[in-house]
Amino acid sequence: MTETLGFGILGAGLVAPFHAKSVSDAEGGRMVAFCDIDRERADKRAAEYGARAYYSLEEMLEDPEIDVVSVALPNHLHHDAVVQCARAGKHVITEKPPAMSLRETDDMIQACKEAGVKLACAVQSRLRKAVQAMKQAVGSGRFGKLLHADAFIKWFRTQEYYHSDPWRSSRRSGAGVTVQHAFHYIDLLQYLAGPASRVQARMANLAHPSVRLEDTLLAFVDFECGAQGVIEGSTALWPGTDARIELNGTDGTAIVVGERMATWQFRDETPEDEQIRTWGSAAVRATAAGGPADFSHADHQALIQDMINAVREDREVIIPVESVRPTLEIVLAMYQSAARNRPVELPVEDDDSVWEW
């Protein structure tokens, strides 16, 4: 199968251009349409990419040239859109988090299975070369016993950012730092160190008093593999510094800062180690540290290229939503822990009351 796949993007806001540029640069993909209830915004994006503009999802799903829909809506709207796309026979890429609850996530997965369509989640940071090197090292046992898996996301967002769209100031819509900004890096820890068994978290609003949501997270995580983890996430820390992922074991340490491999040291060296230490060294800016669009579309492009290839080859996508569900469970446990002021054991049940501030 070599035909070009047509893409529609649902939601013409801040993240839409990253999907659109990725489709345009991918081999075998082309932009067909943008859809947004804000007609001016949909028209603007469509004009930029030579695409059609739609103002309702129902209308866009009737377009026979669309094979894949990228869902780039506010977080609380992902579930309904994904299910609707699946029932229309469209493959789907949803932005993270996949949904705001485990039951919604499971419903999305089931709807896509029943429709025979593919469902991927945009936690595209997994695809960075430095992260893949860490994943392979964990799998091959180079770290020995994994002891620590930590993430530090010390970013900055202005007050204006939180008021740029109504949903960005609504915790129930998924605008808190934990489920919105830190999710990518909580996902990397889950991807690298495996599922969590226990979470203890504190949340606060330190620098954005005009919104009722957390802008700062401090959490301790126990992983099933025996490792411990610390997660610090914030949008209050001017001017913002690059996110940092650290893995430490009895036989090795690896630290990724943004896209760059900052530390790669093991008791037993291999010939490839010197080259791995250079990965990401050309990165010239902190990834999304000081602004919501301060990153390249390279990671999104890798995700979209994989979707194209997966459809052509009739195989599973590289980041199925099933693999991201444990990350959402950790995030929900963090909200429950902060709300109840005590540690929370996993697995957890949905508790929608945590979205109230």
Beta strands 146-154; 119-122: pairing state: unpaired
Q: Whose structure tokens read 């508790």?
A: 351
Residue 243 near residue 185, CB atoms below 8 Å: yes
The counts of H helices and E strands in the chain are 11, 14
Q: What is the pLDDT of residue 291?
A: 86
Least Cα distance to 12 among 45, 40, 58, 56 occurs for 45
Give buried/exposed letters for 20-48 (b at 16+ CB in 10 A, else e).
Answer: bbbbbebebbbbbbbbbeeeebbeebbee
Rg (CA), the chain: 20
What whole-number distance in Å separates Cα of residue 135 and Cα of residue 287?
20
Instruction: Tell the CATH topology of 128-291+326-345.
Output: Dihydrodipicolinate Reductase; domain 2 (3.30.360)
Question: pLDDT tens for residues 186-241?
Answer: 999 999 999 999 999 999 999 999 999 999 999 999 999 999 999 999 999 999 99
**Helix or strand or coil: residue 230?**
strand
Beta bridge partners of 95: 122
Is residue 118's pLDDT more than 50? yes
* Token representation of residue 234: 């914030």
Residue 218 near residue 154, CB atoms below 8 Å: no
Q: pLDDT category, 287, cuts 50, 70, 90?
A: confident
Question: pLDDT tens for residues 309-351?
Answer: 999 999 999 999 999 999 999 999 999 999 999 999 999 999 9
> What DSSP assignment string belongs to 147-195?
EEEEEEEE-B--HHHHTSSGGGGBGGGT-SIIIIITHHHHHHHHHHH--
In Å, what is the CA distance from 304 to each residue of 22, 31, 320?
7, 12, 13
Q: What is the sign of the dihedral through the CA atoms of 232, 224, 191 and 112?
A: negative
Global confidence as pTM = 0.97
Instruction: Tell the CATH topology of 5-125+297-317.
Output: Rossmann fold (3.40.50)
Question: Phi and psi at residue 153, in whole multiples of 5°?
Answer: -120, 85
Question: Phi and psi at residue 265, in whole multiples of 5°?
Answer: -135, 130
Is residue 270's pLDDT more than 60? yes
Least Cα distance to 208 among 265, 250, 155 occurs for 155
What whole-number distance in Å separates Cα of residue 287 and Cα of residue 299?
11
Those residues with Cβ within 8 angstroms of residue 62's Cβ, 6 or more apart along the chain or in another chain: none
Domain boundaries, the chain: 5-125+297-317, 128-291+326-345
Question: pLDDT tens for residues 133-172?
Answer: 999 999 999 999 999 999 999 999 999 999 999 999 999 9
Residue 280 near residue 260, CB atoms below 8 Å: yes
Question: Phi and psi at residue 302, in whole multiples of 5°?
Answer: -65, -40
Within the chain, strands assigned E span: 5-10, 29-35, 52-54, 68-71, 91-95, 119-122, 146-154, 196-204, 216-223, 228-234, 244-249, 252-257, 260-266, 344-345
Q: What is the pLDDT of residue 281?
A: 81
